[in-house]
Amino acid sequence: MALEIRTIDDGDLTPWVTAMRTGFLTAPTPDKEEVEVRAAGMDLARTQGAFDDGRCVGTFRSHPQRLTVPGGAQPAVNAITNVTVSPTHRRRGVLSRMMARDLAAAKERGDAAATLVAAEYPIYGRFGFGPATTSAAWEVHITRSALDRRYAGPECGGRVDFADGATVREHGPGLHERLRAQRHGVVDRTERWWRFATGDLPSPMGWKEPFHVLYRSPEGRVDGLLTYGVEDQWTAMQPENKAVVRDLIAVSPAAERALWHYLFSVDWITTVTTRDRAPDDLMPLLLPDPRAARLTTQADLLWLRPLDVPALLEARTYAAEGSLVLEVTDPDGYAAGRYLLEAGPEGAVCSATSRDADLTLGAGALGSLYLGDESAVRLVAAGSVTEERPGAAARADLLLRTPRRPWCPDIF
């Protein structure tokens, strides 16, 4: 019997979760509670399974997402996740078939783009995705930072207090909404996200209660949240505890500085590790010796696949006034065309044109340039974008690049 790819129904949930766990190399059999918790967050109409003789061997699902773009707009995008094909069925085009179905549905729905976090770099370029944000992980050796650890609370009258999970669920979503309005690359967090982060829903990935700390401004506004765990370690009667940051979001520099400074000052903690930060994170600059913050990983995080080029380019703002003609190639057709972008700090107009192109680029390269993290000049030098008119790549960079780099703090 030929391999069947279809959306799943309630009766498929346990085999579907089993197949996903198999693909992700975790113990295959889920317990009932995990299946129920996962099912509550799935839209079955957007959840595909691949079935071989009735056995689920492939998983794929998507969900609605809001992505903040430069300027603060938050267009609807199609977020893809839980992609697996069992090792017994890999490299037979199963992923390609599920991806084709999902992208067609997203285009039909009018989503401006599709997004995902790639398990491995080589998988998604062929489907028109390009790496659009960079993620950084640091290990901070506090004793080498020359930081004054005498800490008497935040500057300017703000305050830092511990919070329980319920308080985080009360204040976190509003704080995150404010962050989303000001930082491009950030994606929305659902109520479920906050429940998982605070232990209110059992996480399939396991959960250990962390410490939550809120920063309040002098006016009493919650402007920052820090969530961290601690790994206990003592050597020769000396504390060498490690704080592992799970989340640090702030909507003012004062809040950001206060939360880092607080964490760097906690007794017994000599090392702080943090992942999924922006590559231009403020944190190293808060240390008298920034070399004490060692960059342990720097890699792509959010991948973006343009589906509606005019809608996407019109959603963001630009660093300068200018125009650009882009010839976008896309074997799947969704983003293909020649577009005139007339851009400026207040927004842009983008429409099909017959004018000569300034740059020729694939959908994935446009995905990489869109949030401002990548440089067109660099992609031309690497051979993945063609400059049709001298100076066009530098002009594209003047328009597209952003003062702060995009940051996607969440893996989904």
Ligand X SMILES: CC(=O)SCCNC(=O)CCNC(=O)[C@H](O)C(C)(C)COP(=O)(O)OP(=O)(O)OC[C@H]1O[C@@H](n2cnc3c(N)ncnc32)[C@H](O)[C@@H]1OP(=O)(O)O
Catalytic residues: 124, 412
Q: Is the distance from CB of 187 to CB of 65 less than 8 angstroms?
A: yes
- Taking the complex as a whole, the smallest distance from the CB of residue 80 to ligand X amounts, in Å, to 5
Contacts with ligand X: how many residues (CB under 6 A)?
Answer: 23
186 contributes a contact to ligand X by CB under 6 A: no
- Taking the complex as a whole, the smallest distance from the CB of residue 129 to ligand X amounts, in Å, to 9
Asked whether residue 96 is marked as a ligand-binding residue, the answer is: yes
Question: Exactly one of 88, 96, 143, 298 binds ligand X (CB under 6 A); which one?
Answer: 96
- Residue number with CB closer to ligand X (348 or 363): 363
Question: Exactly one of 113, 114, 118, 255 binds ligand X (CB under 6 A); which one?
Answer: 118
304 contributes a contact to ligand X by CB under 6 A: no
6 contributes a contact to ligand X by CB under 6 A: no
Asked whether residue 83 is marked as a ligand-binding residue, the answer is: yes
The residues pairing with 113 across neighbouring beta strands, listed in sequence order, are 77, 306
- Residue number with CB closer to ligand X (16 or 260): 16
126 contributes a contact to ligand X by CB under 6 A: yes
- Residue number with CB closer to ligand X (118 or 254): 118
- Taking the complex as a whole, the smallest distance from the CB of residue 118 to ligand X amounts, in Å, to 5
* Nearest CA-CA partner of 59 in 30, 80, 37: 80
* Nearest CA-CA partner of 368 in 391, 338, 412, 335: 335
123 contributes a contact to ligand X by CB under 6 A: yes
- Please identify, among the stretches 121-129, 140-148, 154-162, 398-406, the one whose residues bind ligand X according to the rule CB under 6 A: 121-129
Asked whether residue 85 is marked as a ligand-binding residue, the answer is: yes
Q: Which residues are near ligand X by CB under 6 A?
A: 23-24, 80-85, 90-96, 116-120, 122-123, 126
- Known binding positions: 83-85, 91-96
